[in-house]
Structure 1
Amino acid sequence: MQIQLATIAITGCLIASCSNSSSNSKQATNQAPESPKQELAQVAEQATPDFTNMVQFPAGSYFIGSDKGLPNEQPVHAVDLNAFYIDQSPVTVAQFRQFIEATGYKTEAEKFGDSGVFNFTTNQWELKKGTNWEYPLGPDHDKATNNHPVTHVSWNDAKAYASWAGKRLPTEAEWEVAARSGKNNQQRFSWGDQLVKNGQYKANVWQGDEVNHNSNEDGYQLTSPVGAFGKNEAGLTDMGGNVWNWCADTYQLYPGNSMPFRKDENVKVIRGGSFFFDQNGEASFTVSGRSFNSHETSLFNTGFRCAADVK
């Protein structure tokens, strides 16, 4: 897999490099803004970590990956983790606003002057001017809703917020262990083995096999309030669907996976799938589903949650 960076991507698949991207998408590139080091300096004074709305997982050996999923999920392998906390839900718009107001931080979307939105009229991705975390569909639409997950944040932005909060981004191993509620089982989704139970969707996901068809049977076309679909056994919400979650790791194949691959330090892991169409369908929001995006990319269906060490 040869990775080339692009400013805009299709749910974890860099448009410049993925041959299986939707035919309705388009490549759009832009000059990257200056490094976020200056903004990181602004948030160097960390807040005292608030563990109130975090879930703790014990140290131990866990299994991650799947032998039944997509090729990049293979093989199943053991990971040894220290005890950690992870946010119960993705960071919300209201929480991110506190960070912005406290630090004056400028997201990369704000520095670019645009961000990635899918245009449902033209059925194409576009870099829409004035789009950012506060105006997720552009300045000609409503502001983001406070209790929805924040979007249009790059990996760099998410890392800056986590640092300010006295936390960090979760590793993808921690994310998967949390999605599995800390259990070594073969459960497909964070909430169970079925996407629909008793006629009710268990997550905010795309309903349809094409990018131009979504029946909205789950009640939402775009993001939903965090926690709207309930918690997994460990007490976490939105561990599948709603928004992709940035993880700390540079994307690479698992040990023992022999697929052709070239690692790029600028390409980071995303987990959990989202409300929007993905070419991998249900596989995108399973507990073992994994994808990637370039570290400066921000989109209308990507957010994050934080983690922290247990001391």
Structure 2
Amino acid sequence: MVMHIMTLRIQFVMGLFAVGALVACQSEPEGRSLTPTLMVYADKPEPTSPVATPPAGVPDGMVFVPGGLTQIGADDGQAWEKPLLWVQVKPFFMDEHPVTVAEFRRFVTATKYKTEAEKFGDGAVLDETTRQWTLRKGAKWSHPQGPEQPPAPDNHPVTQVSWNDAQAYARWAGKRLPYEFEWEHAARNATNSRTRYPFGNELINADGKYLANTWNGTFPESDAVLDGFHLTSPVGQFGKTPLGLTDMTGNVWQWCEDWRQNYADVMAGQPPTNPTEKVQRGGSFLCEPGWCHGYRVSGRSFTSPETSLMHVGFRCVKDV
């Protein structure tokens, strides 16, 4: 998609994607560099000693993610989560939670920034009456459901922000967006944990408490709201991962740096062909397994970089 009107195709489970415009290896055991922070391997290389000790002065609001070796993808996942590949990741800092409405407001106030939804005059919203996506006039980051609906709470993740908007915020904050392999490495707790979610294989703990904000029912017919939230929830509401991150499962999809690409092409050293969509990770409050189980650690989604959606936000990272 390159035209704004085409954003109504809203793709939760689209195609195949990986790190864009970057070179990968085919079978060389030494691997090749994807970015200054990533090396990719078709087969498991000899492990290196990960950087596990946080440096002095972890930035406020961020978590240290140790470097290490992580296997990307899932054998039991969707086609766009295969084939599995190995990535060596350098350490980095990651925002503890997605950027909030209050944090984004500080950016807008300081820079007078105007989001793409504001420039277009609308944002994509799921109309629960028609059960169809629509471009709603006046929907923007402060009022993601539209001007007639309540404003977004300050402690909720900001939405109705495009990839381009997220890039602008990251530059202002002295950070960047994560590569999707960095994102999955962090979701796997920087230890290559193989559970479905960062905290295990179930969304409900032994006490019956929900551990993430997802759709509880059959999408889009009914949401039982068993987790307490029909739309977004406050960041950190469902606790932290073993690494200390929040909202890595559900709540909002999160923009990543990369263009959509097939993992097989990454391993073959092929650059993205016809790059028109950016990757998102983490799933959202609209995801349920019968429709979109994207909130698994290996889940992926893709949308054009100018698109603004009521269930997509972002978090930032910073190099160590």
Same fold per superposition (TM over 0.5): yes
Decide whether the 8 Å contact of 2:13 with 2:292 is kept in 1.
Answer: no
Letter in 2 for 1:117: V
Cα shift at 1:11: 5.0
1:81 and 1:96 map into 2 onto residues whose CA distance is 28
Letter in 1 for 2:304: S
From 203, 218, 221, give the equivalent of 2:227.
218
2:105 and 2:185 map into 1 onto residues whose CA distance is 29
Q: Equivalent residues in 2 for 1:115-194 (5 A)?
A: 115-194=123-202
1:298 and 1:231 map into 2 onto residues whose CA distance is 27
* Paired position in structure 1 for 2:27: none
* Paired position in structure 1 for 2:86: 78
Identity %: 50
Cα shift at 1:280: 5.6
From 94, 97, 122, give the equivalent of 1:114.
122
Answer yes or no: is 1:254 the counterpart of 2:263.
Answer: yes
From 297, 304, 312, give the equivalent of 1:302.
312
Measured at CA, do residues 257 and 70 of structure 1 come closer, stay the same or move farther in structure 2, by a change above 3 Å?
Answer: farther
- TM-score when normalising by structure 2: 0.80
* Paired position in structure 1 for 2:112: 104
Letter in 2 for 1:306: C
Q: Output the aligned Cα RMSD.
A: 2.2
Measured at CA, do residues 156 and 257 of structure 1 come closer, stay the same or move farther in structure 2, by a change above 3 Å?
Answer: closer
SS at match of 1:163: helix
2:175 and 2:274 map into 1 onto residues whose CA distance is 25
1:286 and 1:231 map into 2 onto residues whose CA distance is 16
From 280, 283, 287, give the equivalent of 1:273.
283
* Paired position in structure 1 for 2:40: none
1:304 and 1:169 map into 2 onto residues whose CA distance is 8
Measured at CA, do residues 58 and 290 of structure 1 come closer, stay the same or move farther in structure 2, by a change above 3 Å?
Answer: same
Q: Which structure 1 segments of 5+ residues have no match? A: 18-48
2:292 and 2:242 map into 1 onto residues whose CA distance is 20
1:77 and 1:97 map into 2 onto residues whose CA distance is 39
From 199, 202, 208, give the equivalent of 1:199.
208
Letter in 2 for 1:201: Y
Moved more, 59-68 or 291-300: 59-68
Measured at CA, do residues 280 and 112 of structure 1 come closer, stay the same or move farther in structure 2, by a change above 3 Å?
Answer: farther
Q: Which structure 2 segments of 5+ residues have no match? A: 16-56
* Paired position in structure 1 for 2:298: 288
1:147 and 1:255 map into 2 onto residues whose CA distance is 39
Measured at CA, do residues 240 and 163 of structure 1 come closer, stay the same or move farther in structure 2, by a change above 3 Å?
Answer: same
1:219-278 Cα offsets, whole Å, 9 max, x none, are 0000000000000000000001000000000011113699xxx83322100001100146
